[in-house]
Structure 1
């Protein structure tokens, strides 16, 4: 009897020692983007700073000013997120403000190769010969790598510049909105597209020129803290109108509580 009890206790100890460690953690939402999403200060703020107020999940904001899909890739910033994500994390990716321009002349390190697919351009940046990919290719590569780690990806269209700047309301989605939509399709079932630009423009149109002009105290691209909060709500509206997407069950707002209409 004593020997049997000893062997039973030994078995329990061996099982406990040999059991794999299971990390208990909430899903994390990761943000990858430019200054319109990034943390700032003073009269300027990015919408990513206010997104945590609408979600019940922790948010890690890796957005940084002045970046494009290309420079975020080349600087290893996408790789940092890829290395950090766990299964079922959600990564929101939004670029477009710094991705245009021309590679003819001096390369600024941000401009993507023109095109919607696998096109490449040869350029010189900081005295080094470089191969530049298209905007969709940079985002598709990052998205597929994130999905391979078990993450879910939300590709978001870029926010609009002040659509009231010319005196009357004017907004038309650009090529980066089309590219972003196509990228989500290329990544596959573990990616969705949110037309953040259109949802934001719709709310800005309803709010009117005076109020929206006040959201842009420094230029026509970067919002004030109050403007950033409206912009994050527009993103949430886009999610809610799709049933919440990968964040279904983690959004604190209701569809009716956020300005704007579903598109």
Structure 2
């Protein structure tokens, strides 16, 4: 099953374009963030990890994440298009979705994606408008292809975990299907995309600090962290990045791997 899903993702990304050749304007690379509330700036009681990423990088960071969005709604609202229009060669776009992509289209909330790992489609009506809904991998792949066509790079990041101590004991498996899809999309997009298992590195950090300390980082619900928690979640992303060799951000990370809590997975 996993093999067939991966093959379908390869076909989906088969038309991914390599970075265009030619001279690249000398300028500071910019890092763009595309995601949901777990990445976006929020009300202060909770906030997203993207707020703290600039403290770990020597490059400018533009946080385009917005609460309540999924890969589908981020696409439909033209938010990926805004990033695609803005990026220049050698810029880097971090894409992280999954928290809002599940659910059923029978009572369409405008966020749920069509099931499947490839080009499957579903028909729905949202806010009185007929819409063809695609799969999670399709939305990520189309965005990734367009970003790469502009000469930029893509980091596909797995979604952050809900509080893994919520049941009373630590529980974190593979992160769910959207985690696997994000990894497969990054692979299918080729050399201009990499994958960071942000979910696993964040869960590993929570495991290390224990239940009581983790619970304090979730002041409102099991998904959204306090600013202190968001800072740790941001560092978990950097840990995953550095443990993988740094990828497109090699040389631009201020934190040394050893100084970030946790171990390489």
The two structures have a TM-score, normalised by structure 2, of 0.89
Alignment of 1:179-258 (within 5 A): 179-258=181-260
1:215 and 1:49 map into 2 onto residues whose CA distance is: 16
1:260 and 1:195 map into 2 onto residues whose CA distance is: 14
1:23 and 1:89 map into 2 onto residues whose CA distance is: 11
1:80 is matched with which residue? 82
Structure 1 counterpart of 2:177, from 165, 175, 178: 175
Cα distance, 1:41 vs structure 2:
2.1
Q: Secondary structure at the match of 1:102?
A: coil
1:6 is matched with which residue? none
Q: Secondary structure at the match of 1:165?
A: coil
1:25 aligns with 2:57: no
1:109 is matched with which residue? 110
Q: Deviations over 1:72-97 (max 9, x none)?
A: 00000000000000000000000000
Cα distance, 1:24 vs structure 2:
4.7
1:23 and 1:116 map into 2 onto residues whose CA distance is: 37
Give the unaligned 5+ runs of structure 1: 1-21
1:17 is matched with which residue? none
2:191 and 2:252 map into 1 onto residues whose CA distance is: 20
Q: Deviations over 1:162-219 (max 9, x none)?
A: 0011111111210011000011012111000100000000010001111110000000
Structure scoring higher RCO (CA < 8 A, sep ≥ 6) equals 2
1:23 and 1:191 map into 2 onto residues whose CA distance is: 21
Cα distance, 1:25 vs structure 2:
2.5
1:23 and 1:156 map into 2 onto residues whose CA distance is: 28
1:42 and 1:48 map into 2 onto residues whose CA distance is: 13
Cα distance, 1:23 vs structure 2:
5.7
1:140 is matched with which residue? 141
> How many pairs are equivalent?
241
1:128 is matched with which residue? 129
2:161 is matched with which residue? 160
2:8 is matched with which residue? none
1:126 and 1:209 map into 2 onto residues whose CA distance is: 41
2:43 is matched with which residue? 41
1:14 is matched with which residue? none
1:247 and 1:24 map into 2 onto residues whose CA distance is: 17
1:61 and 1:102 map into 2 onto residues whose CA distance is: 29
1:31 and 1:179 map into 2 onto residues whose CA distance is: 19
2:9 is matched with which residue? none
